[in-house]
Amino acid sequence: MTSEGRLLAQELSHAEAYAFVALADRDKDAADKVASEYQVAAYDDYRRLLVEVEMDVVFLAAPTWQLTECLPPAAQNVPHIVKSKPLGRNLPEAKQFTDMTAKTNRRFFVSAPWRFLSAYRHVKDILAQNRIGDVYLAHAECFTDLSAQLDWRGDPILAGGGALLHAGYCPLDMLMWLFGAPERIYGLSTAKCSKRVLPPSRTEDAAALLMRFSEGVTGAVQCGWMVGIEREGLRIFGTEGAIEADAAGVKCLDASGQPQERYRCKVKTPAQAQAEELTHIAACIADSQIKAVSPAVDHLPLVAVIDSAYLSTRTQMSETMKLYDSIFDRGAL
């Protein structure tokens, strides 16, 4: 079971809006162990679970490559679907997933618990109040160490990409959540750590993404998943000050770099953010008029930017999202 799946099971087990009834994992021993812990039914074949168990919503925390086979029966049998990030390995696949669920009138969410962290929501409020003046530079980063558990992530076919697609997804989403889709995209990546892991990884282990947003904002994302440190956060610079933020809190600085405000967060751990997201999704399912924080269709531009970044790493030229206008209607997003 993936780390996302374990956290999800933990939070579902005591979420008031849900009755956690069953789980599936191809590893029967793993399924039985987790199911025993939470007193739910265990399946080693997700198809049986989808057909035999009556559910209002199914959470798909499987590796993205498995979605091509398990999403169609889920869309046919369950009213609502939530999947872990990324939406797809590439834009055509992501669009295929959203079209599949749209045809069946299912509500389809991508789990994005980082959007529920208090610190990043506070950053959005600060920017809306124009408290640091005109923003000209925004930087986001995410570094972690998955070298001991790359497994399928090191296979470019199964994973679709490496550190950028999987570790860079959250910080890139955060910048696009704050500033919209970028106008120009330039990507760089490296794969120097492949010999450290067995089997050798064939996806990138670190990446940098430079972007130009509207109104002259320069954005940068840096990410890596074979780094022996855990680090994530945002830094945003404006004409009148700056913002530094991570999951634990937010610090506002004046133009000279002196602290002006510190904001401590109530929702600052992955578990707390997951719990907030589950409550929100339940509310969306109960009332179709509630606007979802992370509907799957909103992730199409994000996957398009990552596709463009990978193209840029090959061409060594900056790219735009215009290459993808024929695949999805940007005006509808």
- What predicted TM-score, i.e. pTM, was given to this entire model? 0.91
Question: In the prediction, which pLDDT does 101 show?
Answer: 85
Give the residue with greater pLDDT, 325 vs 193: 193
Cα separation values, 149 from 40, 111, 153, Å: 27, 21, 8
Question: In the prediction, which pLDDT does 324 show?
Answer: 54
Which domains are seen in the chain, by residue range? 3-113 (3.40.50.720), 115-255+296-324 (3.30.360.10)
Residue 289 CA to residue 298 CA, distance in Å, equals 17
Q: Is the pLDDT of residue 329 over 60?
A: no
pLDDT tens-digit readout, 157-203: 999 999 999 999 999 999 999 999 999 999 999 988 877 787 888 99
| Long-range CB pairs of 247-250, under 8 A, 24+ apart, other chains included | 247/114, 247/117, 247/119, 247/273, 248/119, 249/119, 250/119, 250/122, 250/123, 250/126
* Contact in structure between 163 and 170 (CB atoms under 8 Å): no
No. of helices (H) and no. of strands (E), the chain: 11, 13
* Contact in structure between 13 and 20 (CB atoms under 8 Å): yes
172 HSE (CA, 13 A, CB side): 32
Residue 161 CA to residue 47 CA, distance in Å, equals 27
pLDDT tens-digit readout, 74-84: 988 999 999 99
Phi, psi of 246 (to 5 degrees): -140, -175
Q: Is the pLDDT of residue 331 over 80?
A: no
List of residues 6+ apart from 246 with CB closer than 8 A: 119, 232, 233, 234
Give the strand pairing for 57-60 and 80-83.
Answer: parallel
- Residue 80: CB atoms within 10 A of its CB come to 19
In this prediction, residues 297-311 reach a mean pLDDT of: 95
